[in-house]
Every structure is written in structure tokens, then in C-alpha cells.
Amino acid sequence: MNFFRKHWWCIAYSVVLTAFTTYIALDTFVIERVSDVPTDSVSFRPSSSITEHISDSEPRFDSENSESSQPELPPEPMEPIITENSYIDDNIMINITQSRIYDTECYIADVQLSSAEYLKTAFAKGKFGHNVIQYTSEIAKSANAIFAVNGDYYGIRSGGYVIRNGILYQEKRFSNSQEDLVVYPDGSFKIIKEKDVTAQELYDEGAWQVFTFGPALVENGEPSVDKNDEVYAHSVSNPRTAIGIIDDLHYVFIVSDGRTNESAGLSLFQLAGIMIDLGVKTGYNLDGGGSSTMIFNGRIVNKPTSHGDVIKERGISDIVYIDR
């Protein structure tokens, strides 16, 4: 009894400290907090180079030779052609290949679009917030995505710009050195540093998507990482997810396995090299590790690892997908 009287303040301090530490851990990794969704958004403005314009001065049919007084109807939309690893319709072409590179299984999706409007993002459970998570496959199913990869896992960080589908959700800077990927309505990519521009300025420019993970892998067709670069303090070889642009509305998505006996995983430098070999002009590293997942037509393409080397999806906060 004397012991407790003598050290009561020490015991009380320990209890309070333990409770506080537990709350911080739960708030960071477990407690779900949904934020208010902004009501204003940037309207999608497709590039004139990818939009078909029909001049009112040009006749749509030959009035002299036509037997009918009605204008000719446009051709019927093409029915999608879907195979195990490909998809094609009037606006989307996807082809997925699997290659073994650096002792690692890599899944490469070549994607061509008629408009960047088909390059979309979706949140877990359809909500923007902290610790709101779902499997990539579940988010993709809810979005009716033909193709999807995990996004930047914005929900585990307290900062970083978040603009998705033309809506500004978060403008708190993550760090001065943070590199973000901006996707514009014409489908073009740009790497920015958060210290150089605000989220509001990007929004005012008409940014369609902004991802905050990184780093940039390729800029102007050259590697922007070296052999010593890594995400935070993570190990060199990991499962990876990356997105790159080859040409106008021509993209590549790469997901690699890792952390298993079958696949060693990739370094950022190796990932950049693969992208350059594919002709990527601008490439960006999305969330990797247990998050790295590729979905095609409702099927998990790769072997995502969760909790070590267990082949299982990990809950994430967002996806990048192709809207059919």
C-alpha cells in the first residue's frame, strides 16, 4: 500500500501515457473518419485534339443523291471485345502481358483511350476519409471498372494534395520535397513538388487527378531515381504499382509481385528502367508493398501479398481505374 502511495503519480502517468499511445495508434491505423465531400468541382474539359468536332457548315448527307430526307444515322457503337487479357471498344483498348523481369513477375497493362475522362479514380466505400478502406477488387466492382490498380493510399497520411475526378478534397501540404503526379483533362501528365504550387492553384488550372505518393520515376523519358532512392525507409525490393504515359492518351500501368519465393520484387530504379524500355515519357510510383494489386474484368491479375508473404489483398483507400 505504501508503494502505491509513494509512486501513485508514476502509475497514473503510465496509465495516461499508455491510453494516449493506444488512442494515437488506433486513430492512425484503425478509427474510420469520413470527411465532408466538397460540392464544387472542376468540370471535365477534354482536349480539342481528342474531341471530334463536326462543322455546322459541312452537310452530313448528300441532299441531291439521298433517297431520304433524313440525315444518315451514325454507326452503331462497337460492342466490347473482351478476352482473358484484353479489352477493346470504341473508346478503350487494354492489353495486359505478364513478364518475368529481375526475378520478379511483372504485369504490364498497355492502355489507350479516346479521352482522359475514362481514366478515373474511386474511394473505398465511396467515401473520402481517414482509415476508410476496402480491397481493390471491391472498389473496382462498385465502380464497374473494366481495369483497376491500387491508388496512392491517401487515407493513411495526414497531408498531401488530393484532387480526384476534378474535385479538390485535400489541400494540406505533405512536405516540401513531396512529388505529386498531376493528370490534366487532356490526359497529359506533369510532376510537381508541393512546395512549388498549392492544391488550389492546381485545381484552378483544371487538374483532373492529383496523386501523392511517389517519387517520380521517369521525366522526359529519363530516369528520375537512382539505385539508392527508396520510399521512406522501406527495403529496396518490393511489390510495386506505377503509372506512366507513353504518348497522347497512351498509358502503361505496371504492377509487380514481391516478398515471396516466386518473386523478389523491384527497386524503384529497376521499375523506372522497365518503364523507359516501354517508351514511357513520364512515370510515377504509386503505393506498393501489400497494396500492389491489378484487377481486370473482375479478376485479380497478380498475387498481392498482405501481412508478409500471405497471398491476399490488403485494404486500401482508393483506386485508379478505367471506366467502361
Q: How far is CA 201 from CA 17, 47, 123, 164, 259, in A?
A: 41, 20, 23, 15, 40
For residue 103, give the amino acid letter. Answer: D
- Residue 23 is predicted with a pLDDT of 44
- Residue 306 is predicted with a pLDDT of 80
DSSP classification of residue 316:
B
Phi, psi of 70 (to 5 degrees): -90, 140
- Residue 149 is predicted with a pLDDT of 98
Using CA atoms, how far apart are residues 268 and 104, in angstroms rounded to an integer? 13
Q: Mean pLDDT per 10-residue run, the chain (324 residues)? A: 57 50 47 58 46 33 40 75 97 98 98 98 96 97 98 94 98 95 98 98 98 97 87 71 98 96 94 98 96 97 84 95 94
- Residue 32 is predicted with a pLDDT of 60
- Residue 42 is predicted with a pLDDT of 52
If DSSP codes are grouped into helix, strand and coil, which group holds residue 180? strand
Q: Which three cell numbers stand for residue 7?
A: 509512486
- Residue 57 is predicted with a pLDDT of 34
- Which helix H or strand E contains 85, and what residues bound it? none
Using CA atoms, how far apart are residues 136 and 300, in angstroms rounded to an integer? 9
